[in-house]
Structure 1
Amino acid sequence: MNFGSFKAQINECSAILRHLEMDNDFIPCPQYPSSPRAYFKGMHYKDIWRTCLQNRYYHFQLFDNSLLYFEHINSDEVSLSYYDFPYDAVNYFDFINSYGFLYADVGDELREDYDDYITTCAIKESVTSMRYDVSYEQYDEGKHPISHLHIGHNNTVRIRTEKLLGPLAFLYFVLRQNYPDFWKKFVKEKDCLTLINAVRLKLDGLNTRHQKYKAVSPLDMCELYLN
């Protein structure tokens, strides 16, 4: 996917999240570490989330404080990340409502108080972070697929995908898996199913002309994968 199409899909994601009233903050062009995997290596998950939040290393902060970040390295290498909010805490809107305020009245004036509140909350027993990567350079037969999904943090889960995901398809995946009520509301709206199916049907396959491309091997075919 070229950079122009990638950015256009990010803007479409923004429109969807805004329509569903799931967005809290949108940064069209966030400044991210040059080598994020090395930068975050060895960090506890909650520290990764907090570092991303404090340094605004994200495209979207959702209403529940989860984060979405979409990295376009080149036309054949992307990384799409969803950082699930790690604390067992209410969202900002419920927090101010508990004090009798409405967002329309106080806006973000109580953000510092909310941040202090979060530090007193326990870590969730389980978080579901997700990341989609495509990289021809890192392919390792039977172990590291070119196109794959990571589910969870600091594990070896890599689910191979036949199709290449962009920001829009990844957002649909996150909505369906982590926000089923919002997803159900979305798909019931006029023309939404048509739009979703159009995105799914237009997903590209692997670039067979890439110099590092290798045909799917018997080892790769042994595993279950997403078509």
Structure 2
Amino acid sequence: MSKQNKSRDGKFVTSIHDASIVLKKLNLLRGKNLSWRKASEDFLKVSKQDDYKLMYDTAVNHMDYNLILEDGSIFQFEKEANDDLRFAYIQTPYNYISFCDFLLSFNDEQEIPTDLDDLQQLKILYETDYEQMLAEQGCNSRVSYFRYDVDSARYMPNIHSYAHLHVGIGNDIRIPCATILTPVAFVVFVIKQIYKDSWESCLRDDARKDIVLHYAQDRILLDDEKWNDIERKELALV
């Protein structure tokens, strides 16, 4: 690998790390797997089907993700040698109850600690009961799925955009994008769409807001060869 490719690859991994920092600041991150680079064959096989739950379960069971959130949702970030990209947000298909809501089921609100260390101690104490409650919640039929692709081989202006966003599975929705996103910019986009309480809380905190909005701008406008004058006549994400 050339020095230039190593540098680009290093920036990519750094952006995934930055994404984990953003999620942690918003108390959304459960764990990270920064070394993950490529989906397993089992995941690739089931992802071609229309079985969302099977796709999610396969990804989690094979640890086919870079970041996993407190609610069980996952992020995948893949980059090819030719700089093609695949970023995916796969929302958990299982209904989720936050630990604080779990505590509220048998405590008054004023009894719930606000200190994160105290809350973590309670989470350890009630781990079995909390996991049991989550297991009893059943499935969520209103899941959200986002996939951002950069696909140089299939690029056809106004038909198959060089960069585009898929929304949901089992459909042909492909929203043109005029920019190359980084992993952290994609994560910020998802937070705003899915985790509205966390997003609004962040906007009320100037320190966190400045950090998150800074990362939201971590993207590069496509050049004329990949986003031409005809394509600019379309509605697109910039």
TM-score interval for Structure 1 and Structure 2 normalised by the shorter chain: 0.7 to 0.9
The whole-number CA distance in structure 2 between the counterparts of 1:44 and 1:105 is 36
Give 1:224's aligned residue.
235
**Is 1:125 the equivalent of 2:141?**
yes
Q: Say if 1:193 and 1:18 are closer, same or farther in 2 by CA, change over 3 A.
A: closer
2:77 is aligned with what amino acid?
F
1:161 to 177, 184, 201: 177
Q: Is the 8 A contact 2:66 2:77 kept in 1?
A: yes
1:84 and 2:91 correspond: yes
Matches within 5 A, 1:8-157: 8-30=14-36, 32-33=39-40, 37-74=44-81, 76-91=83-98, 94=101, 102-107=122-127, 109=128, 113=132, 116-117=135-136, 121=138, 123-157=139-173
Q: Cα offset for 1:113?
A: 4.0
The superposition leaves residues 170-218 of structure 1 with CA deviations (integer Å, 9 ceiling, x where unpaired) of 011001111122112223323444444544555212366xxxx555263
SS class of match (1:170): helix
Matched residue type, 2:155: Y
- Give structure 1 stretches of 5+ with no counterpart: none
TM-score (norm 1): 0.80
Secondary structure class of the residue paired with 2:221: coil
Question: Quick check: which one's helix share is greater?
Answer: 2
CA RMSD of aligned residues (A): 3.0
Is residue 66–residue 82 contact of structure 1 (8 Å, CA) maintained in 2?
yes
Q: Return the offset for 1:97.
A: 7.1
Q: Percent identity?
A: 25
Output the CA distance in 1 between the equivalents of 2:29 and 2:214.
24
8 Å Cα contact 2:179/2:220 also seen in 1: yes
